[in-house]
Amino acid sequence: MLKRKVQKLLDEWLKGKNALLVDGARQVGKSFSIRQFAKNNFSDFVELNLRTSPDLIPVLNSSKTSADLLLRLKSLSPHPLKKGSLFFIDEIQEAKDCDLITLSKSLVEEGSYRYIFSGSLLGVTLNNINSYPVGYLDEIKMYPLDFEEFLWAFQKDDETISYLRNCFFERKPVDNFIHERLIKILEIYVLVGGMPEAVNEFLKSEDLKASSLVQKAIVTGYEQDIKNHVNQMTVGGKKEGLALKLSSIFEQIPEQINSKDKRFKIKSVISNRSQSQEVEDDFNWLTKADVAIPVFNVSEPTNPLTINVNRRLLKLFSSDVGLLSYQLLPTGVMKAILSNSENVNYGAVYENFVAEELHSHGFNNLYYYSNKKFGELDFIINGPSGIMPIEIKSGKDYKRHVALDNLLKEKNYGIKEGFVFSKSNFKKEGNIVYYPLYLLDFLRNEPSDYINTKLDLSSLMGKD
């Protein structure tokens, strides 16, 4: 059984009285984690799945009071429930008309039982899902396994991880033997990814083909979600053909992120400016559905970064690096990574790894910096001590970072250090700090309110 960080968060939730919403992309392990938590902490719990039992949806939508709803819910239990028992309602996104805010408030105030709701696509299905009432509904966001959780799956104990954490914060090299082993595990991680079923299949068989079959099924599931969304969109009573761009955007993520500049060429999915609003909605849908991670361009590497965003320029990464690697299989990326081949460009895979790690560690707004004078930086974020410019290097030329060097020379920005994450061990040369890629796992940010960064496509057909 995979060890997940969400278990600690669930334990913390148990100390309070609120209802809980666990959301995240499909197949990240929400239901399994909640089910295990329920078995370990409740003598009685009832699990209801709205996707497999759609007849339950009217029960949530039509109940007028908490007493009315509880009467119906308790009737679904095979035996009388004790006070304090848990109701786990899965696939809550299927109840699109459910007022989860009011529902949680009334159930928590009634106080007889505990409640966990879970689902996917919540950002694009439920009404008012972005405005939780203080004191009634907590939220836990789940992601694919990050690299630390992947190390747990490889039976790396807490002592090893504590040692790595110390290396990161104390800025010292990792033991060379351990370093080489961790680079090999990282190479496996960027191919397998963090979807629990894919990880489990690889651990059982030690065969990347086994995990690829799982990845194929997940990508197919995402494609089906997109088709369902497209089929539900109407304009004047007709299906909106233009909404099919959403499928095109999703399909093009691997190709675009694997291109030379890695930027998403928006012109590839529209033919004229009049379609800019539709494509903006499509990008936002993919983000809200936790299918993709946007990284926006900033015109100046100064705080606050949000006011310097150039919303026409972005990179679009996959929510799971393993899914990206699967989609890039025809390019030979798997063989290239495992053999350290220099003939295939797999820098996009490692950049996706970084975007995913940062996103799941609380950096909800990710940026890159591109300037004709300085060049282009892969990532620029608000780090623990201010602006943090980051370069990602997958090859042997990790000491070549012209844009980073130019940026640090600019006194007006006042950036004291630059960071390069690569396959090399730790070293510091002047104001450049070199870290091995796997230590990026320890770069964390306190959870913050998500600031929606909408695309501005008014100048869409201009220069990229």
DSSP per-residue string spanning 359-414:
HHTT--SEEEEEETTTEEEEEEEEETTEEEEEEE--SS-TT--HHHHHHHH-TTT-
Q: Please state which architecture CATH assigns to domain 6-142.
A: 3-Layer(aba) Sandwich (3.40)
| pLDDT tops 60 at residue 406 | yes
pLDDT digits (tens, 9 = 90+) for 5-33: 999 999 999 999 999 999 999 999 999 99
pLDDT digits (tens, 9 = 90+) for 197-248: 999 999 999 999 999 999 999 999 998 888 877 776 544 444 454 456 778 8
Q: Which of the four pLDDT bands, split at 50, 70 and 90, describes residue 326? A: very high
Q: Which of the four pLDDT bands, split at 50, 70 and 90, describes residue 324? A: very high
Name the percent of the chain lying above pLDDT 90.
51
Per the CB < 8 A criterion, the answer to whether 379 and 366 are in contact is yes
- CA dist., res. 12 & res. 139, Å (int): 12
Q: Which of the four pLDDT bands, split at 50, 70 and 90, describes residue 344? A: low
Would the pTM count as exceeding 0.75? Answer: yes
- pLDDT at res. 449: 30
| pLDDT tops 90 at residue 164 | yes
| pLDDT tops 50 at residue 443 | yes
- CA dist., res. 377 & res. 375, Å (int): 7
Mean pLDDT value of segment 238-265: 74
Residue predicted with more confidence, 17 or 279: 17
Number of H helices, E strands in the chain: 17, 15
| pLDDT tops 90 at residue 41 | yes
The count of C-alpha atoms lying within 13 angstroms of the C-alpha of 454, restricted to the half-sphere facing its C-beta, is: 8
Residue predicted with more confidence, 359 or 274: 359
Task: Give the residue ranges of DSSP H helices in 206-346.
Answer: 208-232, 245-257, 276-288, 321-327, 333-339
- Which whole-number Å values give the CA distances from 285 to 29, 120, 123, 316, 358, in the listed order? 21, 13, 8, 13, 20
The residues near 347 (Cβ < 8 Å, ≥ 6 apart) are: 392, 393, 394, 395
How crowded is residue 382: how many other Cβ atoms within 10 Å of its Cβ?
17
- Listed by start position, the domains of the chain span 6-142, 148-442
Q: Is the peptide bond before 304 cis (omega within 30 degrees of 0)?
A: yes
Cβ-in-10-Å burial (0-12, 13-18, 19+) of 4 comes to buried
Segment among 27-31, 263-267, 458-462 with least mean pLDDT: 458-462
pLDDT digits (tens, 9 = 90+) for 97-106: 888 888 888 8
Residue with tokens 């938590």, as numbered in its chain: 37
Task: Read off φ and ψ for residue 375, nearest 5 degrees.
Answer: 105, -160
Beta bridge partner(s), residue 361: none
Task: Read off φ and ψ for residue 166, nearest 5 degrees.
Answer: -65, -40
- pLDDT at res. 35: 96
Instruction: Report the SS3 class of residue 358.
Output: helix
- pLDDT at res. 143: 95
